[in-house]
Amino acid sequence: MGHPLQRCWKDCAWQTVGDMHDRYEKIPVQVYPEAGEAACRVAVEIASLIRSRQEEGRDAVLGLATGSTPIPLYRELIRLHREEGLSFSNVTTFNLDEYSGLDANHPESYTRFMREQLFDHVDIGEGRTNIPNASGDSAEELENKCAAYEQKILDAGGIDIQLLGIGRSGHIGFNEPGSPVTSRTRVVTLDRITRLDASADFQGFHNVPRTAVTMGVGTILEADKVFLLAWGKGKADVVRIAVEEPESEVVTASFLQRHFNAEFVLDEAAAGDLTRLRYPWLVDSISWTRRMKRRAISWASGKTEKPILKLVDDDYNESGLGDLIAEGENSYSLNIATFNDFQHTITGWPGGKPDANEETRPEKSTPHPKHAVIFSAEPQDALVGMGATINRLKEQGHHVTLVALTSGNLRVRDEEALKLIRCLKTVGQSEQISHQLGDHVERLQVGDAEAALNPEVRKLKSAILRAEVVDSASALGIDEDALQFLDLPFYESGRFRQFHVTDADHEAVAKLLETLNPNLVFVAGSVADPMSPQGIAFQLVAAAIRKFPITTDHIWCYRHREEALKPYEIDMSVPISPVQHELKGNALQRLRAVVDLRNEESLNDDRSVAAAYDELGLAEYEAMEVFQRVKVEKL
């Protein structure tokens, strides 16, 4: 294998990209409607490498990643092994990285992850799987181990296909911002964003290891073929930087621009910030729908820092929107139409306003009252994402049911469980506790990660979160009997990155939907990582609606963990007065047990959306909760 820099033919790669789609992308990018399809495509490439090597009597060397992203791909490889006879007997693997200081059996160790997600399910030879070893040696010993890892890759003939995910810090492997392009396998300090993103897995930020061992950027660039996979809106921004901005140490994934055979494989949500999707008029001539005009004109308004109604023809031309004017319209009429379009998304009546002209309102008023069903993946999601709207629906006489699909117990901090145990002991329940929890209490106290996964501990945590959610909902005027907790089995029997959806999950959601028969539905997770509880919850609700058509032709999507909706994505904005904002703040304060709760952030997000509407020249509100309409036929 030559040195990566000798093998670069960046100019040619640029050319290829130019042919593919547009002049913005510096790496070939394939976009698929959803992650499963994308993962299958990569699995096919891997399978074909393995098989062709088998025919030649040679080995295939794979570079593997961990995390949520490769899971659908590993599941497909396992399926190919089980159902289509794909053998891994000639495969050698090298993993990208491993946390420092974790025992191989720690639930979050990448060694265990690989066993559970792939190695235990295929016929890969013992001794053919390699994971960097990051455990407690002296600095010098660690350095030697890292060098030996590099040597082992070379001895195996180099990596044929390298799989990568991308962190929100822009890392590949654990090459955090600042990692040089020439870096090799070494010990690194994890970025704060990386540790924050792992904090739910580790039951809190402070439990996330500070360091790890990772292959270097230079090591990765030596692979013959590189696939970087990314799913969900959470990755969209960093994907765009890696693909479209000049390469830099700030986002180490951008160094893939210099690889001769690297490809990004994305779902639509992760690709959503690429210029060709976000600003398609800059890339190609397009057919202008109303929504596209709204997007383009609000973008021009932001770019020129002028409210919509003040845009003039020159602003359109200078923003690359000359063809909109050329189509026979002028800026004046376009401005007014777009302004009205935005104005019509605003309503204080999320369930429709009775006896009002409803032609331009986001939601029809009949029937009234409605039966609104609001789905949360984890019980707190809807309160955080749309607490003020829930309050309004209730105040406006609708029948409101909040459905928590999972118990959310994985997000409850160990300290909360210990606090409850202490309370129960104080009121004389010691015996009951020891009977139920045995030595798990002591193990929890010393931060044993396995103890946190014990079913009895999780049951206790479910009870804590449930009580908090009931309390929080009551602050928004929602009684306990309006809350339904489904505790879906995929969550109870899994953990983050280890969720397996079965028919039992589908049946439970479909049955509930049939019983409730709502005519107003809210759900989050449409652009979430499909492996996250939110992503899975959305897919379950969508499948249930396909099975049991509801009596409305659309549902409303709110954002919970993902980046807030941009004005052009919004179909309904519910203004929040200062008093209601305070009410929501009060409700959210009652949720304390959850790791990484986005209370403050979500209250600020509500303010930011209102500020964005204000900047477009619309009315100035304290805050807003916003929703996107999704047609049932599109689910």
Size of the site for ligand F6R (CB under 6 A): 14
Q: Which parts of 544-573 interact with ligand F6R (CB under 6 A)?
A: none
**DSSP-based three-state secondary structure for 129:** strand
Structure tokens of 551? 């009596």
Residue 262, Cα to own-chain centre: how many angstroms?
A: 23
- Provide CB contacts within 8 A for 465, sequence distance 6+: 378, 379, 380, 407, 408, 409, 411, 412, 593, 594
**Cα–Cα distances in angstroms (integers) from residue 293 to residues 9, 73, 273, in the given order:** 39, 37, 17
Q: At what angle do helices 430-437 and 455-475 cross, to 10 degrees?
A: 120
Strands 225-230 and 572-576 come out as unpaired
The sign one gets for the Cα dihedral 164, 167, 170, 174 is negative
Under 8 Å between Cβ of 1 and 259: no
Cα–Cα nearest to 242, from 218, 273, 281: 273
Q: Which parts of 450-469 interact with ligand F6R (CB under 6 A)?
A: none
φ/ψ (deg, to 5) at 479: -75, 160
Q: At what angle do helices 290-304 and 331-343 cross, to 10 degrees?
A: 100
**Helix or strand holding residue 228 (H, E):** strand 225-230
Burial class (CB in 10 A: 0-12, 13-18, 19+), 79: middle
CA distance 581 to 501: 36
**DSSP-based three-state secondary structure for 404:** strand
Binding range to ligand F6R, per CB under 6 A, among 1-9, 161-169, 329-337, 448-456: 161-169
Give the per-residue contact string, 332-371, with ligand F6R (x = CB under 6 A; - = no): ----------------------------------------
Q: Which is nearer to ligand F6R, 191 or 244 (CB)?
A: 191
Tokens 């509407």 identify what position? Answer: 613
Q: Which residue's CB comes closest to ligand F6R?
A: 165
Q: At what angle do helices 578-589 and 381-395 cross, to 10 degrees?
A: 130
Q: Which is nearer to ligand F6R, 99 or 556 (CB)?
A: 99
Under 8 Å between Cβ of 593 and 599: no
Give the per-residue contact string, 164-193, with ligand F6R (x = CB under 6 A; - = no): -xxx---xxxx-------------------
Task: Please report how close the Cβ of residue 10 comes to ligand F6R at its closest, in angstroms.
Answer: 23
Q: Which is nearer to ligand F6R, 239 or 441 (CB)?
A: 239
Q: Is 102 one of the binding residues for ligand F6R (CB under 6 A)?
A: no
Give the per-residue contact string, 57-86, with ligand F6R (x = CB under 6 A; - = no): --------xxxxx-----------------
> If you ran DSSP here, which 8-state letter would residue 634 be given?
G
Task: Please report how close the Cβ of residue 505 comes to ligand F6R at its closest, in angstroms.
Answer: 22
Task: Please report how close the Cβ of residue 113 comes to ligand F6R at its closest, in angstroms.
Answer: 8
Binding range to ligand F6R, per CB under 6 A, among 118-126, 163-171, 241-249, 379-387: 163-171
Task: Please report how close the Cβ of residue 569 comes to ligand F6R at its closest, in angstroms.
Answer: 23
Among 96, 236, 482, 591, binds ligand F6R (CB under 6 A): 96
Among 32, 60, 94, 97, binds ligand F6R (CB under 6 A): 97
Task: Please report how close the Cβ of residue 171 comes to ligand F6R at its closest, in angstroms.
Answer: 5
- Provide CB contacts within 8 A for 58, sequence distance 6+: 90
What are residue 594's DSSP bridge partners?
Answer: 412
Q: What is the CA radius of gyration of the chain?
A: 26
Tokens 């455990």 identify what position? Answer: 135
Task: Please report how close the Cβ of residue 233 comes to ligand F6R at its closest, in angstroms.
Answer: 12
Q: Which parts of 230-249 interact with ligand F6R (CB under 6 A)?
A: none
Task: Please report how close the Cβ of residue 47 comes to ligand F6R at its closest, in angstroms.
Answer: 21
CB count, 10 Å around CB of 426? 9
**DSSP-based three-state secondary structure for 267:** strand
Q: Which is nearer to ligand F6R, 65 or 557 (CB)?
A: 65
Task: Please report how close the Cβ of residue 529 comes to ligand F6R at its closest, in angstroms.
Answer: 7
Under 8 Å between Cβ of 251 and 264: no
625 tagged catalytic: no
Task: Please report how close the Cβ of residue 98 comes to ligand F6R at its closest, in angstroms.
Answer: 8
Q: Which is nearer to ligand F6R, 170 or 351 (CB)?
A: 170
What are residue 626's DSSP bridge partners?
Answer: 573
Binding range to ligand F6R, per CB under 6 A, among 143-151, 160-168, 541-549, 611-619: 160-168
Q: Which is nearer to ligand F6R, 306 or 598 (CB)?
A: 598
| Catalytic-labelled residue, pool 25, 108, 150, 176 | 176
Q: Hey, which residues are catalytic here?
A: 176
Binding site for ligand F6R (CB under 6 A): 65-69, 96-97, 165-167, 171-174
